[in-house]
Structure 1
Amino acid sequence: MDGGLLNSKNMYKSWTDCLGAAHFALVFALWSALAYAGVVSNTFLPTPDQVLQTAYRMVVDPAGDNLLHHALISTLRVTVGFFISAVLAVPLGIFMGTLPKVRAFFEPMMGFIRYMPASAFIPLFILWIGLGEPEKVMVIFWGTFFQQALMVMDVTKNVAGELVEVSYTLGAKKLAVFSKIILPASLPGIIDTLRITFGWAWTYLIVAELVGASSGLGYVIIQAGRFLKTDVIFVGILVIGLLGMLTDLIFKLLYRVMFPWLTREGA
């Protein structure tokens, strides 16, 4: 019976993988049909081989347009901004979800600020901290911190109340309940929250590199747009997407390593 269930889960995973691959293939086929048939001018929609050739040229180019250099700079900016956000948002979110008074103090203002677009703060960030790297990191931090803290709060707050009540009934102290019940039960959701918000951090990259940047994938895309280099724009967008998928896979692997029992249940 267990073997049949395992085979059923494996078949389901194979089908879902195939459907995901089919979606990519469909989008690629549509792109190729429009570009190669000339339905859309190559000025506005380059062919896949044009994009591939441009990417190769940018990888082997030792000058300032080197794709790997720009990708590394952007990855560092996103990672630093996200890391600072996570270091501050995760503990705050846990305390907000655990302690009603902390939640009552922080949640209204954070809920208000999270609706403000990070791009609107760029002029202020430039005035306050200049046009250097801290300003770009700040944009990514600002774009992820508030949502991250509120999502962690919700994960922590929604830990099964029965577990907490039973622990107090059995004489457990508040610190023990937090460390033995609330935190372990919240950790899978927190890791998932970090995975999702890391994806958001990548979406703020173009905004972060919009002003005063001389490197990075966002800078490459913006400069290419000024000269109608759509093949370079496609390369930049696709590289950001691939880097985002890579970070997503890293978090999924981390989740499987840390919580193998949950992975087996959800397989």
Structure 2
Amino acid sequence: MTKVITPSVSPVRKRRMAPLEPVSPTMKWVLGTGFFVLFVVIWSTVTLGGFVSPTFLASPMTMVREGITLFTEYDFLHDIGMTVWRVMGGFILASIVAVPLGIAMGAWKPVEAFFEPFVSFCRYLPASAFIPLLILWAGVGETQKLLVIYIGSVFQITLMVAVTVGGARKDLVEAAYTLGASNTGIVRRVLIPGAAPGIAETLRLVLGWAWTYVIVAELIGSSSGIGHMITDSQALLNTGQIIFGIIVIGLIGLVSDFIFKTINRRMFEWSTL
């Protein structure tokens, strides 16, 4: 009787630092937190060690102290509220216009041929370049700041939504036609549901860009907002307040991004985004 020898199968060992190898959620938090700790340590060493003058770069402790002063003496919470309101107001206005237009451009090629050259042209124009004109047209009030964010966001959203909708799978469209769907039904029942996760991801990304536009808008002719505080602090050479304002912007953006991601994940659980 012949003895059959079966080869032993060795367990697959986990490859460390391999390309595209995922890490655990715990390790993500550890690595992410570790970077910030390392950054603060280097920052403290450079400033407290006397390598950089406090006039040019405040230490972390000075920055925290100046931040407390902003909240207790200068009503910084009101500035934060005004900046958040401007970002969301301009972003929502841009989304109301850009999302339907982008869907129309992605679904109907004649609409895309009509709008795409102008939208592509405007996409490369910096929103800050419009500020002098917007001040002439709308003054230095809230309308001007909302329009800066609107101009900086609307063309980006339009093109990105158009690309997302236009990239729909042709086989799904043909299958819908085979089942008797109309042209309008194709858009409502195939293109929009298929592109919805991508559209939501586009809005999340452009919201981050909107935060850069609001600071530019608040640097000129503003009496409130985080950008206004940064400008005043620059005139006083108070780098602690400037850094604190920048960090606050980053934290608010991080929170809004996390909220957007959570909403998208719950709304589109079937998507891989």
Which residue in the other structure is 1:48 paired with?
60
Amino acid at match of 1:167: A
Q: Tell me which of 220, 225, 237 is aligned to 1:216.
A: 225
Which residue in the other structure is 2:201 paired with?
192
Q: How far does residue 195 in structure 1 lie from its aligned partner after superposition?
A: 0.5
Q: Tell me which of 200, 215, 240 is aligned to 2:249.
A: 240
Q: How far does residue 66 in structure 1 lie from its aligned partner after superposition?
A: 1.4
Percent identity, aligned pairs only, is 43
1:174 matched to 2:183? The reply is yes
CA RMSD of aligned residues (A): 1.6
Which residue in the other structure is 1:206 paired with?
215
What stretches of structure 2 of length at least 5 have no aligned partner?
1-20
Q: If the length of structure 1 is used for normalisation, what is the TM-score?
A: 0.90
CA distance in 2, matches of 1:74, 1:186: 31
1:100 matched to 2:112? The reply is no
Q: How far does residue 231 in structure 1 lie from its aligned partner after superposition?
A: 0.5
CA distance in 2, matches of 1:241, 1:91: 30
Q: How far does residue 144 in structure 1 lie from its aligned partner after superposition?
A: 0.8
What stretches of structure 1 of length at least 5 have no aligned partner?
1-8
CA distance in 2, matches of 1:69, 1:117: 28
Which residue in the other structure is 1:31 paired with?
43
1:8-65 per-residue CA deviation (whole Å, 9 max, x = no partner) reads: x99533333332222222222221221121111111111111111111121122xxx2
Q: How far does residue 210 in structure 1 lie from its aligned partner after superposition?
A: 1.9
Q: Tell me which of 158, 174, 199 is aligned to 2:167.
A: 158
1:77-118 per-residue CA deviation (whole Å, 9 max, x = no partner) reads: 111000100111111111111110110011101100111111
Which residue in the other structure is 1:225 paired with?
234
Compare the two structures and name the one with the higher helix fraction. Answer: 1
Which residue in the other structure is 1:129 paired with?
138
CA distance in 1, matches of 2:168, 2:155: 21
Which residue in the other structure is 2:157 paired with?
148
Q: If the length of structure 2 is used for normalisation, what is the TM-score?
A: 0.89
CA distance in 1, matches of 2:189, 2:157: 23
